[in-house]
Amino acid sequence: MKTIGVLTSGGDAPGMNAAVRAVVRTACENHIKVYGIDRGYKGLMEGSLIPMEIRTVCDIIHRGGTMLHSARSKEFATEEGMQKAIEICHAYGIEGIVVIGGDGSFRGARDLSERGIPCVGIPGTIDNDIACCDYTIGYDTCLNTIMEMVDRIRDTSASHDRCSVIEVMGRRAGYLALNAGIAVGATAILIPEVEFDLKRDVFDRIRRTQKTGKKHFLVIVAEGVTADGNITVDELAKAIEEETGVESRAMVLAHVQRGGSPTVRDRVVASQMGYRAVELLMDGIGNRVVAMQKDQIVDYDIFEALNMKKHIDMNLYKMANIISI
């Protein structure tokens, strides 16, 4: 392989830059020309390609976001869009692409691979919701950001004897909420994977904890819980106040969770994954997803990866409920 492309797609995640850097440097060391594709598949269809050199990726390892920008493209999902992208690859001599993103981005990578442009996916999303991976780039940084923000909220919540109800991201998955909830010592954690009963899992828990002398509370809610129109965090805060008498406030942490300098873990894993992705392409292997399983870097067929299922660790959930009282 003489020329490859690298793109970031879907929601950005801290550590994507470290992955781009690893891809570019591994390729350069192996005399492979690299194009950075600006704004994901949209940029590929439009031919927004930037030649990358060793020094193009200087001073990015510590930066959040993605220097290649990101986009979600509906047009790319059409056959016409796909053909436009393939024409650009042929025009620039691109023989393989490293795609850094989530499940949606991997579907695009699979479709391109099937049409003769081998692609290797790298899991980059704060949600940690990619079935074939124990860990996705950005997840650790995001968890630490949530923890820091909620610790701050706790200071004011404790000063006023309040209950703070905090919604965190995660799309349809509760990994962020569960782990952040444990890390901040939340009294209740609501995630989409586990059915809940507000009386049993929130109001009664708060009442029981009140009896032990505690006067301030944290409730962490995954956005997957509110997404179905079940209940908003504002409604939940109001209900908690009515049911328990504890003054309550609601907040949605939103995009602050996606920014910031990546943690050590995200930088190291992203570097390992970027390196492995180029190794695969150099061996002429495409249609793969690089993943982390039991702390090892492995890879899967994209089709297989997209059909895998991942489950929340119910022991962790059970433990969270026991020790949060």
Residue 225: phi and psi, rounded to 5, are -80, -40
In angstroms, the CA 10 to CA 100 distance is: 9
> Whole-number minimum distance, CB 221 to ligand F6P, in Å?
13
- Within a 10 A sphere around the Cβ of 69, how many other Cβ atoms? 18
Residues 6+ apart with CB under 8 A from 251: 153, 164, 165, 166, 167, 233
Give the Cα-Cα-Cα angle 84, 274, 267 (nearest 5 degrees).
Answer: 125
Tokens 């949600």 belong to residue = 127
- Site size toward ligand F6P, by CB under 6 A: 10
**AA identity, residue 67:** M
**72 burial level (CB within 10 Å; 0-12, 13-18, 19+):** middle
**AA identity, residue 278:** V
> Whole-number minimum distance, CB 72 to ligand F6P, in Å?
7
> Which structure tokens are listed for 297?
């870097």
| CA contacts within 13 A on the Cβ side of 304 | 10
169 forms part of the interface with ligand F6P (CB under 6 A): yes
Q: Is the Cβ of residue 14 or residue 102 nearer to ligand F6P in the bound state?
A: 102
Residues in 3-22 that interact with ligand F6P by CB under 6 A: 11
Query: Does the annotation count 127 as an active-site position?
Result: yes
> Which structure tokens are listed for 120?
């290797």
Q: Which of 154, 171, 205, 267 binds ligand F6P (CB under 6 A)?
A: 171
Say which of 12, 111, 127, 266 is annotated catalytic.
Answer: 127
> Whole-number minimum distance, CB 125 to ligand F6P, in Å?
5
Site string for ligand F6P, 102-141 (x = CB under 6 A): x----------------------xxx--------------
Containing H/E element for 33? strand 33-37
Site string for ligand F6P, 233-272 (x = CB under 6 A): -------------------------x--------------
Site string for ligand F6P, 184-223 (x = CB under 6 A): ---------------------------------------x
Stretch that binds ligand F6P, among 89-97, 110-118, 164-172, 297-305 (CB under 6 A): 164-172
Active site residues: 127
Binding site for ligand F6P (CB under 6 A): 11, 102, 125-127, 169-171, 223, 258
